Structure 1
């Protein structure tokens, strides 16, 4: 009897264990099924986008590839004109329906940084993420130690020249960053191209404070101090940069018609009568249809140091979209070497990635490499200044007008920059 009782008890215990194991197995299976279901949950990402050229078509191809690899993700490209971008985003954000993503310029980063997903939290930390990109871009997209956007492409100011005129004058341009001209040497070369090559003008320079500021940084100056608390544009370097810019006009190297008359420098260069154009790398694709003369890109001259001014376009993910993780995942995909290189190569843009400075462009490969070298020699002050988009728009026109006053002889360089410095300091104080 006792033996039988033990056998029954053992049987009951074994049955209970079997029931418990089955229950656990069923629960685990349900959890796995639920997890797999959640992982494959269909999501839709609205991506606000603007185009300057063919980059919209390039992005559509990238999106198609991503959707193929991630069938649960649908990305809706909402195309707007750049002039409408800020208004569109403000309306969406203030209405409580922000997009998942948006392509933005440096101007919008400051305006929407408080609404941005901190990508550093999702993509490995600030240092790990930013180390992939050019150091000079960092002040634009890292705000209060948060990565509020990811660089998509980068721009640089540089020097485009008329090869035909230079060859006719017998003037050789620098072929290496190790032997760039000084500004005085460059000015002398331009005068020779005018005298012997038949150039009507030596140099045209885009009528923008952004392009002019390249000279400021080469002289060792800046518009503001590093933390943006005080104007510095009226120090010795700033005054010297304005004085030299005036000298280029006074010496007849630069025509007054651009900065004093509003003439289009692009049209002047296209005429074939201008030796060089101080412009941005986007002019490579703009000028590729020129057939009446040969042109190319050479290294900019230097003052106390070499420098360009970085700019570019970025992609931002927005909080409260409900798909923050998926948006960050897509940005990580866009930022990878393979995808970012494809985007910039096909769109004829420059990559912001350190490991993609040399791409196999279908057009202008060597010219893009010169612009990339200019960026790699750019001083931090350039991005530190221009990233302060809550201040810069409040004085940029004043700076442009002050330079015009100096060129036309209405003000000395010192007086003009002192006046701009007061405007900058007021803009800084108003922000506080």
Structure 2
């Protein structure tokens, strides 16, 4: 009995040892699997630059690759004018890039090929809640997040401090006491008379910049759904009429909207009191030293408004690296990285929590533009996000405004004409 018991005990011990060895082996094997390096992945990133942002992005990519050694990001730099053609060629050839930097113009054209970032980055509401609301119509298409905002642009007012000071005219220093347009026009006349300005206000020769006045009057080019034209309603007509009045009263020179003179060059001459332009002119005018200049709040009509725009990053389906692309976009969209990108590039951040950045140049000026965006009418982005329609009538809108300013037609007749063109463009887009 004792001998048999010993054999049974020995057998049990051996079985237990075998199980322990097997368990240890399995655990070690599992640890080895967990420690195995991730699969190496390469992401092609089609990119264009307007200024120094390309170098800034290269630095961000280098940091990301250091943190993620299995990821290699290839920046494919192209001229902006070649961007659409490059992307169409890659997509139609069955080799879409992982990522691309795009503007508002390209979002609609490539949204069907885009990865729905909402599915990978926490849902539509969670993702979009990080960014200023006025941008949402640009990158949320059919309840899908087809791109992520990288920087934002706004229209605003740059003025010649030297001329204003000479005339004894003080500009608004708070959004709580902005001028009305009539008050602003009176101030510009005073700067011309007492400050020696040759011109009061120059305004970029584009429908986009002009539409700032349209939204301030409470108007829009189309209804919110983009189903019919609204530019010929009372607000649209009033905006065109006032634009004509600014020319008739000598506040604005006719040379920009009639003669094609460059408002940038005019302002640089030091003979212009103010320039209604985009925030990118802050870095453009950085080298102006023959007079002092700054940024103040735009006047208002029925309400305050600017017009938002910007650049975005899109990830593409069928690239084979959709998850890795979405992960990189999430990194780029974070407060820390997005703030660094915009601060170093002298851009404005689209993030709600990054309206005030510690810029090396123009910090206070950027904050004024950010405030203009925060007070922008929803109609602005609703209109300009419809890029399948807007390009089909924007030139006609510009030409019609010129005809009104020149006294060749009434504001009502001109906007009725544009409305018909818009309605046709809407109908054609549905075919």
**For residue 286 of structure 1, what is the aligned residue in structure 2?**
284
**For residue 418 of structure 2, what is the aligned residue in structure 1?**
420
Q: Distance in 1 between matches of 2:124 and 2:89?
A: 30
SS at match of 1:153: strand
**For residue 104 of structure 1, what is the aligned residue in structure 2?**
102
**For residue 68 of structure 1, what is the aligned residue in structure 2?**
66
SS at match of 1:287: helix
**For residue 373 of structure 1, what is the aligned residue in structure 2?**
371
Q: Distance in 1 between matches of 2:398 and 2:3?
A: 104
- The offset of 1:126, in angstroms, is 1.1
SS at match of 1:316: strand
Question: Taking structure 1 as reference, are residues 146 and 20 closer, same or farther at Cα in structure 2, changes over 3 Å only?
Answer: farther
SS at match of 1:278: strand
Question: Taking structure 1 as reference, are residues 31 and 411 closer, same or farther at Cα in structure 2, changes over 3 Å only?
Answer: farther
**For residue 173 of structure 1, what is the aligned residue in structure 2?**
171
Q: How does 1:138-149 map to 2 (within 5 A)?
A: 138-149=136-147
Aligned residues: 430
Structure 1 counterpart of 2:202, from 196, 201, 204: 204
Structure 2 counterpart of 1:328, from 326, 329, 334: 326
**For residue 405 of structure 1, what is the aligned residue in structure 2?**
403
Q: How does 1:214-363 map to 2 (within 5 A)?
A: 214-363=212-361
- The offset of 1:413, in angstroms, is 0.7
Task: Note the alpha carbon deviations across 1:366-409, whole angstroms, 9 max, x for none.
Answer: 11010000000011111111111111111111111111111111
Q: Distance in 2 between matches of 1:324 and 1:414?
A: 50
Q: How does 1:5-44 map to 2 (within 5 A)?
A: 8=7, 12=11, 15-16=14-15, 18-19=17-18, 22-23=21-22, 25-37=24-36, 40-44=38-42
Question: Taking structure 1 as reference, are residues 5 and 356 closer, same or farther at Cα in structure 2, changes over 3 Å only?
Answer: same
* Segment of structure 1 superposing worse, 65-74 or 272-281: 65-74
Unaligned runs of 5+ in 2: none
Q: Distance in 2 between matches of 1:228 and 1:21?
A: 70
- The offset of 1:208, in angstroms, is 0.3
SS at match of 1:288: helix
Task: Note the alpha carbon deviations across 1:277-324, whole angstroms, 9 max, x for none.
Answer: 000000000001111111110000000000000000011111111111
SS at match of 1:269: helix
SS at match of 2:122: coil
SS at match of 1:202: strand
- The offset of 1:11, in angstroms, is 5.2
**For residue 192 of structure 1, what is the aligned residue in structure 2?**
190
Question: Taking structure 1 as reference, are residues 117 and 25 closer, same or farther at Cα in structure 2, changes over 3 Å only?
Answer: farther
SS at match of 2:287: coil
SS at match of 2:329: helix
Unaligned runs of 5+ in 1: none
Q: Distance in 2 between matches of 1:358 and 1:304?
A: 27
- The offset of 1:219, in angstroms, is 0.3
Question: Taking structure 1 as reference, are residues 28 and 201 closer, same or farther at Cα in structure 2, changes over 3 Å only?
Answer: same
Q: Distance in 1 between matches of 2:21 and 2:383?
A: 66
